[in-house]
Structures are given as C-alpha cells and as structure tokens.
C-alpha cells in the first residue's frame, strides 16, 4: 500500500491552478454548488418537481383505478420530462455561449 502523504500540493493539477487563476474557490460545498446551479438554470429544478408531481399523482390514480386520469398524468409526465431536458440543453447552450 502506498504511504499516506500529509501535505499534498494541489497546484500540480491543472484544473486546481485554473480555478485559482479564475478567482474561484477550490473547494465548493454541496449547498453552494446547488445554489450556483439553481441560479444558472432555474427551470431545470422546476421541471424536475413538475415531473415528480405528475408521476406521483399518476401512480396514485393508477392505484385507485382512475384510468383516464392516470393516462393523462403519465402523458403530462412525459411532457414535463421533455421540458426539463429542453431547459437543461438550453441552459448548457447559453452557458457555453456566454463564456
């Protein structure tokens, strides 16, 4: 087994040096990353929430036997998933274009 090094020089990695040069923090907490991503593309979490709600309600109506509403909710889920993927792709495209 390799020996454990106490002091590791992270500047040897190009991505760490690049982030330092850009003036960003090297370590980003999960909550900071979530907030940053939410600000960059707020439509993706909205689409995820709508997709989950459609799925949950669709499964509930399927269990209760309301076939018509269940089918409508599953179609709504597909539309919400499409919106989410579209928002993700557009956000990535605008993010790359803005840099």
Question: What is the tens place of the pLDDT at every residue in 25-70?
Answer: 567 788 888 888 888 888 999 999 999 999 999 999 999 999 999 9
Residue 26 counted as domain residue? no
Q: Is residue 46 a part of any domain in this protein?
A: yes
pLDDT tier at 11, thresholds 50, 70, 90: low
Sequence-distant (6+) residues with CB within 8 A of 83 are: 43, 47, 50
Q: Give, as one character, the DSSP assignment of residue 65.
A: T
In a domain? residue 14: no
Return the percentage of the chain with pLDDT > 90, whole number. 47
Least reliable range by pLDDT among 7-16, 30-39, 82-91: 7-16
**Domain assignment of residue 67, given as a range:** 41-99
Distance from C-alpha of 73 to C-alpha of 63, rounded to nearest angstrom: 13
Distances, alpha carbon 2 to alpha carbons 5, 6, 16, in Å? 9, 13, 23
In a domain, 68, yes or no: yes
In a domain, 73, yes or no: yes
Q: In the prediction, which pLDDT does 75 show?
A: 97
- Residue 34, both tokens: 């979530």
Dihedral angle at the C-alpha atoms of 15, 18, 24, 26, nearest 10 degrees? 40
* 9, part of any domain: no
Has residue 94 been placed in a domain? yes
Number of domains in the chain: 1
- For residue 41, the model assigns a pLDDT of 86
Q: Which two tokens stand for residue 24?
A: 């960003």
């Amino acid at each position: 087994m390799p020996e454990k090094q106490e002091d590791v020089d992270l500047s040897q990695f190009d991505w760490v040096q690049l982030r330092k040069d850009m003036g960003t923090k090297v370590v980003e907490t999960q909550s900071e990353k979530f907030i940053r991503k939410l600000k960059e593309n707020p439509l993706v979490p909205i689409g995820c929430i709508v997709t989950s709600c459609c799925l949950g309600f669709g499964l509930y109506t399927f269990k209760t036997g309301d076939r018509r509403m269940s089918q409508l909710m599953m179609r709504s889920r597909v539309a919400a998933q499409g919106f989410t993927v579209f928002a993700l792709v557009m956000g990535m495209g605008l993010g790359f274009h803005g840099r």
